[in-house]
Structures are given as C-alpha cells and as structure tokens.
C-alpha cells in the first residue's frame, strides 16, 4: 500500500467537497506579458491542452485587442466542446460587440467585463465619479448579457477599492445580470489575511451574493499571488483565475499548478476540489515553455526540474526509508515521472550504494570506502555525478579520463 505522505485525510469527510472553478487566463493575462506572446497555432494547441487538463473556463483572449486575437478567440470558441470559452472586454460597446461575435460559435460562452473601481484609477485613469463607474458597468453588463451565455464582471484594482463602495459596485453588477463577480488584486498588493477578510465582507454585504460565484484574480508583485488566492478560497471564493507556470503581467499571475496542488494536498484544510487532471500539469507546463521559449526555474514548485529531486545525504537517506519524509506529493500525481535522487557532493553512502546496485554493482564494505572517497572527490569538481561516472568508478577506471 502506498503510504499517505501528508497529515491530511484523503477525503473531506461525510459531506461532498465543494467545487472551485479553475479559470485559466494563460492565453489572455499570461500571453500579455513581455516575452510570452503566442501566435494563433500556439494558442490553439495550448487551448486543447487546457481542455484536456480539465479547466472549467478558458479565457482565450481579448478580441478587440487585435484582429489576430479576435481570430484566435473565435477559433478556440469553435473547436472546444468542454470548457466555457471566455473573452475579455472593456465596458465599451465596440469591445463588447466584438467579444460577442468572437464567441458566437462557443458551446458555452462568457464575456468578461472589467472596469476600474479604486480611487486612484477612478481619478487618474478613468476620470469618472463613483456613480459613473457603476452606471457604465451596469450598461455594459446588460449589453453583454444578450451576446453570450454568461457575464463576469471584474472590478479592476478591487483590493485597493473602498470595501463599502465595492459592495455597491458588485450589488449593482449582480442586479444588472453578472453571474460571476471578480475582485482582482491587479497590482499584487494585498496579503492573505486582508484578502480573506475582504471576501468574507463582500459575501456578507453584497446584495444577491448567494446567486453568484465570487472569484479571485491575484498578481505576484510581492510573491503572494498563490497564497492570496488560497486565502480567498478559504473565505468563500469559488472561482480562481490563474495561469500555467504563473505567467502574466509583470511578476505574473497566480500559478495554476500551485493552487491546484495546494488544494489537493490539503483537502481537509480547504474542503474543496477542482476538476483538474493533475497528471497533466507537468506536460501542460512543458508545452507552454516549448511554445513560448521561456523555461521555468529549476526550483519552481510542482513543475520545476528540482521539485522532486533530492541531493543531500540526509534527505536521500530519509527518502530511501519512507518517501513521505521529504515529499508531500508523488511526482506521478503531477505527471513528473519518478523522484530523482541526484548524486552530488551533498549525497551520502546510502544513495550511492543504491544507485550502484541499480546499475548492477554489488559492492562490499571495503570496496565501498574507496568508491565513496573517489565519488566525493569527483563530486567536489562536478555539479552532478552521472551514471557513466559511477560505472567508471565502480570498475576502477578514471571517470575524468
Ligand atoms: O489584473 C486584473 O485586474 C485583470 C482584469 C482584467 C481582470 O487582469
Ligand atoms: Zn490580471
């Protein structure tokens, strides 16, 4: 039997876990970041991969941004049959109509409207009063409703917006027909405690809150996008907007793979589930790096090369006794293959002996002393000691010859 590696129960108890919708914006907010743009073919391949991954909503692009973006949203809307296909639009007629046209062929379509609500944006970006913002948002929602199956409204820069005013904005948006209301942390400014408090406050005071889905959309400027998204879920958000590999504007968006695995590894803590086939996380991440030419760091959580690699002797010894000592999830669960015990200068005798055995070398204690000494001498010179090096050492040859 595979041992349970975490302290969590693997089910949530007697009640069925609530579903958190995964809204993927790799093809919109992610693609918007410098260095990450994708052509139509690349976007289509990515959209198919996201569908296979099991995301609930794919934000396919911003149709009025360019003819190419329009075309790629229209194509994705035509071919995907599983997820809801979503397009972004400002609260202006031209954007909304273009979005509606791009989504015409979708089996299930969503127009995602956004308008800034924070004092800074109202004054310096929009030059609008509080009431003008509400009226503009409501008119846009009413127009969009006629052009798609469902409307999401985002209060841009919500986390720097006065909470009481945000209640009014969302209450009006719901009355106008929005079925998802999103409170983005547009500039990655909030903290987990603050966003949890804000979502709890909104869910309590927004009129019609029980009829809609509350959504979070966090940016990573202070490195807290995932933590903030999870805090929002704890406070009742039931849609999370995120991207593969956390790509997105500036420091990026919340990373899909990190959110999904956090929810999965701690089911008893969060009490929610997603529809993601987690075994496809690493292949999807790799597809994105291939399509954009942008690699993830080795130490990136879940999908980085080191996410399931161990070099230090103490950790390797622990892993050989019980994999739960230093791993809270299995590499197979995220599509990574096997745990790697990398041999380097920090590794110990146990891992070396095991690797030698795997390579077919049974070594007695006396021989092991000298093999281990030669291995350490080589490891001091090289970052990683490979199987060919070990073969040479075991056979008494010079691995550097
Ligand atoms: O970060 C943001 O506020 C956005 C909105 C368009 C949702 O990306
Ligand atoms: Zn964003």
Give the Å distance between the CA of 199 and the centre of ligand 2. 18
Give the Å distance between the CA of 384 and the centre of ligand 1. 43
Q: Which ligand is nearest to the CA of 62?
A: 1
Ligand 1 atom index nearest CA of 154: 7
pTM: 0.94
Residue 256, phi-psi category: left (phi > 0), alpha (psi -120 to 50), beta (remainder): alpha
Q: Which ligand is nearest to the CA of 89?
A: 1
Ligand 1 atom index nearest CA of 157: 3
Binding site, by residue number, is 29, 217, 219, 253
Counting beta carbons within 10 angstroms of the beta carbon of residue 284, is it exposed (0 to 12), middle (13 to 18) or buried (19 or more)? buried
**Residue 145 Cβ contacting ligand 1 at under 6 Å:** no
**Residue 29 Cβ contacting ligand 1 at under 6 Å:** yes
Residues near 169 by beta carbon (within 8 Å), at least 6 away in sequence: 117, 133, 134, 137, 155, 161
* H/E stretch holding 236: none
Ligand 1 atom index nearest CA of 187: 1
* pLDDT tens track, the chain, 401 positions: 333 445 564 443 456 789 999 999 999 999 999 999 999 999 999 999 999 999 999 999 999 999 999 999 999 999 999 999 999 999 999 999 999 999 999 999 999 999 999 999 999 999 999 999 999 999 999 999 999 999 999 999 999 999 999 999 999 999 999 999 999 999 999 999 999 999 999 999 999 999 999 999 999 999 999 999 999 999 999 999 999 999 999 999 999 999 999 999 999 999 999 999 999 999 999 999 999 999 999 999 999 999 999 999 999 999 999 999 999 999 999 999 999 999 999 999 999 999 999 999 999 998 999 999 999 999 999 889 999 999 999 999 998 88
- R_g (Cα) of the chain, nearest Å: 25
Atom 8 of ligand 1: nearest residue by CA position: 29
How far is 95 from 62, CA to CA, in rounded Å?
9
Burial 188-218 (b: 16+ CB within 10 A, else e): bbbebeebbebbeebbeebeebeebbbbbbb
Structure tokens at 172: 């009006």
Nearest to 142 by CA among 176, 173, 172: 176
Give the Å distance between the CA of 156 and the centre of ligand 1. 6
Binding site for Mn(2+), by residue number, is 29, 217, 219, 253
Give the Å distance between the CA of 180 and the centre of ligand 1. 14
The interface pTM score, or ipTM, of the predicted complex is 0.99
Q: Which of 25, 64, 217, 220 to mutate to test the pocket of ligand 1 (most atoms within 8 A of CB)?
A: 217
How far is 10 from 91, CA to CA, in rounded Å?
44
φ and ψ of 139, to 5 deg = -60, -40
**Residue 186 Cβ contacting ligand 1 at under 6 Å:** yes
**376 and 347 in contact (C-beta within 8 Å)?**
no
């Amino acid at each position: 039997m595979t041992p349970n590696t975490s302290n969590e129960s693997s089910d949530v108890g007697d009640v069925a876990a609530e579903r958190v919708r995964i809204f993927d914006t790799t093809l919109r907010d992610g693609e918007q970041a410098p260095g990450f743009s994708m052509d139509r073919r690349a976007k289509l391949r990515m959209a198919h991969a996201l569908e296979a991954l099991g995301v609930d909503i794919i934000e396919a692009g911003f149709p009025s941004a360019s003819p190419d973006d329009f075309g790629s949203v229209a194509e994705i809307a035509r071919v995907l049959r599983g997820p809801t296909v979503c397009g972004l639009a400002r609260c202006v007629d031209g954007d909304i109509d273009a979005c509606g046209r791009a989504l015409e062929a979708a089996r299930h379509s969503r127009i995602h409207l956004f308008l800034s609500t924070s004092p800074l944006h109202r004054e310096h970006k929009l030059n609008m009063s509080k009431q003008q913002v509400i009226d503009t948002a409501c008119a846009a929602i009413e127009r969009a409703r006629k052009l798609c199956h469902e409307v999401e409204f985002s209060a841009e820069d919500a986390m720097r917006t006065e909470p009481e005013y945000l209640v009014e904005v969302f209450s009006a948006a719901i009355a106008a027909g929005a079925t998802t209301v999103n409170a983005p942390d547009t500039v990655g400014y909030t903290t987990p405690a603050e966003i949890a408090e804000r979502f709890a406050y909104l869910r309590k005071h927004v009129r019609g809150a029980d009829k809609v889905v509350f959504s979070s959309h966090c940016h990573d400027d202070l490195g807290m996008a995932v933590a903030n998204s999870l805090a929002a879920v704890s406070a009742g958000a039931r849609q999370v907007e995120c991207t593969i590999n956390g790509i997105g504007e500036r420091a990026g968006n919340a990373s899909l793979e990190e959110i999904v695995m956090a929810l999965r590894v701690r089911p008893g803590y969060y009490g929610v589930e997603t529809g993601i086939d987690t075994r496809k996380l690493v292949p999807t991440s790799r597809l994105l790096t291939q399509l954009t030419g942008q690699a993830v760091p080795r130490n990136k959580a879940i999908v980085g090369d080191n996410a399931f690699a161990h070099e230090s002797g103490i950790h390797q010894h622990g892993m050989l006794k019980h994999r739960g000592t230093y791993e809270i999830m299995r590499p197979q669960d995220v599509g990574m293959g096997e745990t790697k015990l990398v041999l380097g200068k920090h590794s110990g005798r146990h891992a070396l002996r095991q690797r030698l055995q795997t390579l077919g070398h049974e070594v007695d204690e006396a021989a092991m002393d000298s093999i281990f000494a030669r291995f350490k001498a080589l490891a001091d010179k090289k970052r990683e000691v490979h199987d060919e090096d070990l073969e040479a050492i075991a056979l008494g040859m010079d691995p550097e010859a």
